[in-house]
Structure 1
């Protein structure tokens, strides 16, 4: 059992993270998933504002030593891991093994969700609509005959739009082969190809667990320039979002369509057994059907930049309150007293 001090607000919280180091590589987005020190400090300050004592635990090769020395009651996890398809599960698996409580989804959910094709395969068995797709493991593999251009090509196990450039949507076989060769060379992993869905784009955040889970009002990503209906939320767009997009919340949807989208998001959250918080992306086709694109059960929390805190702010929940809600959701799961 974890021994806690008399006041819940005196929890010692470990903050697990991976930090951007300014590493230069063959691709610009090599550190896209990692956090800046500003984000780490924003979360630290938010936790300290509710009386927690915070230990910074960078999730590098000395993580275990730092964890042993910190004697934390719970870990607030935003660590992305150091490499491999299961990297987001590294820290949760260690914490689960040691019996240390932590925020966010467990290692199994994180492993499944980072594998885009595996997630789609699972969700389609629950009748969640997703674009037709195929996982391509090598350049010579043939495309399914029922897949129709335009197609979008993306690395199968990346987040933060890593590997999704402005060239990701292809219109013919020549473009497809060229992009596939480039992506295999740069990212060294299987590629997910799926039919591109023209239409509108939405992202939906969820916070909490069980009956207390709250689905935030969807946020629409509205592109300032129309690229023949093939706009995508690429790495370039996210990096300079004020130039390329506007965020609209609530979106211009009928009450029926908005409820439908929120219900789908809640179902996906339950099916994948997400915990505490997550964010998922959808495209709405011209015939008003919502297609699931992908989910991030470890969404970015950079204030003023990441989609998740933006959604919450649109819905009247300021940043420090979001951090508190995530922490309290985890504390309640472990039978620990929430902070007030």
Structure 2
């Protein structure tokens, strides 16, 4: 009988409360207990001892008293545009290893306009954009219709409705004020890239990166929406087809893969991320839309899990891969 100590992994998360909210999608980024248990069971299946830690304010007082080797972090945080940074910042302060990107990358990535400014500095193409803070700003003359409007610091397609692409000033300012009023956050307005949409999963660190099969979002059955609204995402099994691997030439695959890896490193991501981009019908070039360095892990629903499933791999192996990338980065022993 082996006496080798099991790796103790704390699992940090935020649960849906199913409270009465102003917007249908207010808790879209949070997870339910089923997903938490799926990750817990996957970690236990590969030989880990798992401690569940819901990322409420109480975690500040409790996490220091647990004998934790590493944290598997998929907590979304509670408040503010830097909410995804809360747990990583705490863990770094306490010198506790954790999976995924640090607080700086997570904070920047959630703020779409900040992420776009950084990648643009590295000559990565992204749609022209403008942030509206009060809805009274004039539209910058360099922006041309159609324009898509979304919350500047939200994920999971929150705030994006089926009519979020504006064709004129009246539609634009209606959408801007809807975001500012309903979500209490600035609105990001960016030029709408007419073309194919792809999402790219990446594992690794620095120059040692693996791009997973590229997935295309097929909007043929979305009644003309043509983009990833909250409604499309929520009803994805009925409305959209996920094409993975996408039907791309070898040249197109390399173009998109290299583009995604450049974004991953430009934003200093660690271990895992998922990148959304569109390839323009006009110039054939990819444009960065947004990045999720804390990708959803809902089995059979979240994009990264669907990409992984298309490879014929089991969910527990996805969880193990994320954990192993982190263990390797910290110089710890990986799990076979």
| TM-score class, shorter | over 0.9
Please give the alpha-carbon distance, in whole angstroms, between the structure 1 residues aligned to 2:3 and 2:152.
Answer: 46
Q: 1:33 aligns with which of 25, 29, 52?
A: 29
Please give the alpha-carbon distance, in whole angstroms, between the structure 2 residues aligned to 1:111 and 1:127.
Answer: 21
- 1:339 partnered with 2:321: no
CA shift for structure 1 position 211: 4.1
Please give the alpha-carbon distance, in whole angstroms, between the structure 2 residues aligned to 1:84 and 1:126.
Answer: 27
- Name the SS for the 2:92 alignment partner: helix
- Partner in structure 1 of residue 259 of structure 2: 264
**1:234-253 alignment to 2 at 5 Å?**
234-253=229-248
**1:7-26 alignment to 2 at 5 Å?**
7=4, 10-26=6-22
CA shift for structure 1 position 303: 0.3
- 1:185 partnered with 2:216: no
- 1:51 partnered with 2:78: no
Please give the alpha-carbon distance, in whole angstroms, between the structure 1 residues aligned to 2:129 and 2:208.
Answer: 34
- Partner in structure 2 of residue 304 of structure 1: 300
- Name the SS for the 1:213 alignment partner: strand
**1:95-106 alignment to 2 at 5 Å?**
95-106=91-102
CA shift for structure 1 position 316: 3.4
- Partner in structure 2 of residue 92 of structure 1: 88
CA distances 1:292-321 after superposition (whole Å, capped 9, x unpaired):
100000000010010011112213332111
Contact 1:208 1:325 in 2 (8 A): no
Please give the alpha-carbon distance, in whole angstroms, between the structure 1 residues aligned to 2:314 and 2:205.
Answer: 20
Please give the alpha-carbon distance, in whole angstroms, between the structure 2 residues aligned to 1:272 and 1:17.
Answer: 23
- Partner in structure 2 of residue 74 of structure 1: 70
Contact 1:269 1:278 in 2 (8 A): yes
CA distances 1:190-242 after superposition (whole Å, capped 9, x unpaired):
111001111111000001223432111210000133655x5111111111101
Q: 1:170 aligns with which of 157, 163, 166?
A: 166
CA distances 1:70-94 after superposition (whole Å, capped 9, x unpaired):
3211100000000101000000000
- 1:111 partnered with 2:111: no
Deviates more, 1:207-216 or 1:121-130: 207-216
CA shift for structure 1 position 132: 0.8
- Partner in structure 2 of residue 330 of structure 1: 326
- Partner in structure 1 of residue 125 of structure 2: 129
CA distances 1:134-153 after superposition (whole Å, capped 9, x unpaired):
11111110111011111000
Runs (5+) with no aligned partner, structure 2: none
Number of equivalences: 334
- Partner in structure 1 of residue 272 of structure 2: 277
Please give the alpha-carbon distance, in whole angstroms, between the structure 1 residues aligned to 2:69 and 2:321.
Answer: 17
TM-score of the superposition, structure 1-length normalised? 0.95
- 1:233 partnered with 2:246: no
Contact 2:222 2:232 in 1 (8 A): no
CA distances 1:76-132 after superposition (whole Å, capped 9, x unpaired):
000000010100000000000000000000000001101100111110111111111
CA shift for structure 1 position 184: 1.0
- Name the SS for the 2:52 alignment partner: strand
Contact 1:34 1:80 in 2 (8 A): yes
Contact 2:222 2:240 in 1 (8 A): no
Contact 1:77 1:103 in 2 (8 A): yes
Contact 1:102 1:330 in 2 (8 A): yes
CA shift for structure 1 position 249: 1.0
Q: 2:210 aligns with which of 210, 214, 225?
A: 214
- Partner in structure 2 of residue 144 of structure 1: 140
Contact 2:222 2:239 in 1 (8 A): no
- Name the SS for the 2:77 alignment partner: coil
